[in-house]
Structure 1
Amino acid sequence: MSDMQPSVLVVEDEPAQAEMLTYNLESEGFRVIRAADGSEALLLVEEEAPDLILLDWMLPGTSGIEVCRRIKLRPASRLTPVIMISARSEELDKVRGLETGADDYVTKPYSVIELMARVKSQLRRSRPATVGERLVFEDILLDSEAHKVFRGERELKLGPIEFRLLSTFMEKPGRVWSREQLLDRVWGRDIYVDTRTVDVHIGRLRKALGRHGGSDAIRTVRGSGYALG
């Protein structure tokens, strides 16, 4: 697992199930956020921007199906992978869950090993650097497992913050990231950092990328933030 610890929101109203999922996810290196009902889940999706959501179908109040529908309607969270967990094993229920926007559907009782594999599979698509994947953009190669960056044949020396910034950019080339979004993704929500600090580290990353005569590849989008390419 990369040092960019991915976060998983567990939405489960049964304490024993929530504890079991939390234990296994943390053992795999994930940061776990928990919600016991649909309303709390929707609030945490907005506040915490988790990398993946494990969502129980049967919840008090707002159902898992409705929670999933709302998550997928919001522009900020529509691309967040949702794995729905349900005791409903009928094919029509699975189809309904997937049609609502769930990215995967797991029926209770389930194999924990299989569920962890499904979590990693979804993250491999949405945040590949967190599961040790190599990322490539033009002549830049980022090996998240070895924690190395190459430009052509040359290895670039990056500090840990610059490495995480580049990982974030390379996971979604072309996406514009605001300073606040980069702070959340790279520094984390629990640490207060002035947004100007982002500019300082972007400057260091640009310098490292352009050290051997290449372009720095990072684009400033006036009034919005930064993008790769």
Structure 2
Amino acid sequence: MATVLVVEDTISEMELISGYLRDSGYTVISTTDAKEALVKAEQHKPDVVVSDVVMPGMSGLELCRSLKKNAGTQKLPVVICTSKNQELDRLWAMKQGADAYVTKPFTKEELVRAVRLVAN
């Protein structure tokens, strides 16, 4: 099954997302830091990245832009998973290169569906 890199600075959220994905058969790599996620994306070559937006240091949207600019990771699908639920936020994320947008709170089905859609 596919490998998913989860980038979430809130440990409880990371555990929830990781648990949902593992329960659905995915291998999960995780980090609380977007800059570290860039390194892990290069090293582990995941099939999908699921990232929060609001994080210290580098935001999830900056991470998305960086992944899409890098030749080694530009085809890597990115699912933004955030509490920012305005249509403008979703449109801005898509403009940064996001492939899917899931708003918190989300169900296991919503998250897994988004990951499945972009992983294919």
TM, length-normalised to structure 2? 0.96
Letter in 2 for 1:107: T
CA distance in 2, matches of 1:67, 1:115: 19
CA distance in 2, matches of 1:98, 1:116: 19
CA distance in 1, matches of 2:17, 2:85: 20
- Determine the structure 2 residue equivalent to 1:18: 14
Root-mean-square deviation (Å): 0.9
- Determine the structure 2 residue equivalent to 1:118: 114
CA distance in 2, matches of 1:112, 1:60: 26
CA distance in 1, matches of 2:105, 2:4: 20
- Which deviations, in whole Å up to 9, do the C-alpha atoms of 1:162-208 show, x marking residues without a partner? xxxxxxxxxxxxxxxxxxxxxxxxxxxxxxxxxxxxxxxxxxxxxxx
Out of 59, 70, 74, the position equivalent to 1:74 is: 70
Q: Which of structures 1 and 2 has the bigger CA Rg?
A: 1
Aligned residues: 120
Superposed, 1:73-222 pairs within 5 Å as 73-124=69-120
Unaligned runs of 5+ in 1: 125-229
User: What displacement does 1:54 show?
Assistant: 0.2
Letter in 2 for 1:18: M
Structure ranking higher on relative contact order (CA contacts 8 Å, 6+ apart): 2
User: What displacement does 1:15 show?
Assistant: 0.7
Unaligned runs of 5+ in 2: none
TM, length-normalised to structure 1? 0.51
Once the two structures are aligned, what percentage of the paired residues are identical?
36
CA distance in 2, matches of 1:70, 1:37: 14
